[in-house]
Amino acid sequence: GAGVSQTPSNKVTEKGKYVELRCDPISGHTALYWYRQSLGQGPEFLIYFQGTGAADDSGLPNDRFFAVRPEGSVSTLKIQRTERGDSAVYLCASSLREGHEQFFGPGTRLTVL
Amino acid sequence: AQKVTQAQTEISVVEKEDVTLDCVYETRDTTYYLFWYKQPPSGELVFLIRRNSFDEQNEISGRYSWNFQKSTSSFNFTITASQVVDSAVYFCALSMPSGTYKYIFGTGTRLKVLA
């Protein structure tokens, strides 16, 4: 079956612009996570959805970051007024249930000029 | 505090050598899960193993083996007879029910297997 997909694979934007990153999880996976990975680092947690609701958004760095999962499947991570420090690879992962292994998408590489 | 430490930043070995990647974790929870992932140059994280805190049995899968020791809070990963295709960054991760099962990753170990 299909794995986790993320679009776009690359996004270049200018400082101050708004961006949306999309994640399509594995079908039937109720848990969805967003992480951010900077060069040479391990991924860092951003937000977790169980179904449609954000069960844990403690990793979002500030209020410029927001994510939704309106129908409990596809999720969109939204970043307003982008800053150069937002440049990173944004990873999405899904798991069948809480506690199970997470399967990661290929990531979206965001570059803010 | 919860934390994962991978002290080895980079390891280089010659093909067919055995290599062990270290992972030390910190948590006060009694229920937790440990994971290893491989991140090849293509960038996508590939799941290797999941272990829960109540199962200390070592596991072997082909050339891969894992040693989980609660007494030293370690979950080490050994590759036997390494191959060039094993070259990648390997991440150890920790998750807990108290933390909504989100992963806490180590900083990764870059493994280079030379032909």
Q: In this complex, do A105 and B107 lie within 8 Å of one another by their Cβ atoms?
A: no
Mean pLDDT of A72-97: 96
Q: Does A44 touch chain B (CB under 8 A)?
A: yes
Q: Does pLDDT of A105 surpass 70? A: yes
pLDDT in tens, A23-49: 999 999 999 999 999 999 999 999 999
The closest alpha carbon to B38, from B90, B84, B86, B85, belongs to: B90
Distance separating alpha carbons of residues A98 and A13, to the nearest angstrom: 34
Between A1 and A29, whose confidence is greater? A29
Interface test with A, best of B21, B29, B31, B101 (most A CBs within 10 A): B101
The closest alpha carbon to A31, from A7, A3, A52, belongs to: A52
**DSSP for B8-67, written as a single string:** --EEEEETT--EEE--EEE-S-SS-EEEEEEE-TT---EEEEEEETT----EEETTEEEE
Q: What is the pLDDT of residue A4?
A: 97
Bridge partners, B89 (sequence order): B39, B110
The pLDDT-based confidence of A1 (bands split at 50, 70, 90) is low
Distance separating alpha carbons of residues A103 and B12, to the nearest angstrom: 28
Q: Does A53 touch chain B (CB under 8 A)?
A: no
Q: In this complex, do B101 and A42 lie within 8 Å of one another by their Cβ atoms?
A: no
Question: A40: nearest CA in chain B?
Answer: B107
Distance separating alpha carbons of residues A18 and A82, to the nearest angstrom: 6
Q: Does pLDDT of A11 surpass 80? A: yes
Q: In this complex, do A91 and B45 lie within 8 Å of one another by their Cβ atoms?
A: yes
